[in-house]
Amino acid sequence: MKYEIVLKGSYALLKVFLSTGESVVVEPGAMVYMKGPIEVKTSATGGVWKALKRAILGGENFFMNTYISRGESEIGLAPQLPGDIDVIPLKDILYVQSTSFLACDPSVEMDVSFGGLKSFFSGEGIFLLKFIGHGDVAVSSFGGIKSVELQPGEEFTVDTGHVVAFDGTVKWNVRTFGGLKSTLFGGEGLVCTFTGPGRVYIQTRNYPAFVEWIKSLVPRQTGSR
């Protein structure tokens, strides 16, 4: 399977090129176009139990679409949010926030993982998508996407709303931003400190914060008519 990312930046598009017999697992609703002899199968990827866990705990779709090529073909994929796309070579384990998953090799096992007692992604719940094995995983971001390679013992602190994905080798801890005053009035809330080795992928825009900003613009009903 080959791929190309075009229009990188705010409105990226992932072009996946499939030869006969090759396939790719795609997030429902991500397909922009298809070209060539392609068969589409919709199923509970990984079995019913894992699909239920993804849907109930991880906020992900119960069903996934698998595109199977019956000849030379091409698929165009794009996320719902405006932003960038990156394809990550999986090194054993990769954790991804649910809104960032786009597609992956069918050889990759998809599951969910408990993220601890504190909410990992503000407004996103306490479970992360967990990818296991070897293959490529395509992720999307809200805004631009940047990868950071951490050396052993190196620390990197990120606002939780800006995290896209990270390697299973990376240790992480969610905490409040500074003291009580900073947490309440500093405009940050929760942050996550990552400790290397491994890769961390971040996005330049904060989706939960953007949603709250949109809500602030909606006129509130006062109850009077």
Taking only the tens of pLDDT, the chain with its 225 residues reads 799 999 988 899 999 999 999 999 999 899 999 999 999 998 655 544 454 444 444 455 547 899 999 999 999 999 988 999 999 999 899 999 878 999 999 999 988 776 544 444 444 445 688 999 999 999 999 999 999 999 999 999 998 889 999 999 999 888 886 654 444 444 456 888 999 999 999 999 887 677 776 777 887 765 555
Query: What's the CA gap between 225 and 121, in Å, rounded?
Result: 39
CA quadruple 207, 208, 214, 217: dihedral sign:
negative
Nearest to 67 by CA among 96, 109, 104: 104
Domain covering 2-217, topology:
Double-stranded beta-helix (3.60.160)
Burial class (CB in 10 A: 0-12, 13-18, 19+), 16: buried
3-state secondary structure of 136: strand
Q: SS in 3 state form for 27-82?
A: CCCCEEEEECCEEEEEECCCCHHHHHHHHHCCCCCCCEEEEEECCCEEEEECCCCC
CA quadruple 177, 179, 180, 182: dihedral sign:
negative
pTM of the predicted model, to two decimals? 0.79
Query: What's the CA gap between 169 and 195, in Å, rounded?
Result: 9
- Please state the φ and ψ torsions of residue 55, each to the nearest 5 degrees: -75, -45
The neighbour count for residue 153, using CB atoms within 10 Å, is 9
Domain locations along the chain: 2-217
**What letter represents residue 12's amino acid?**
A
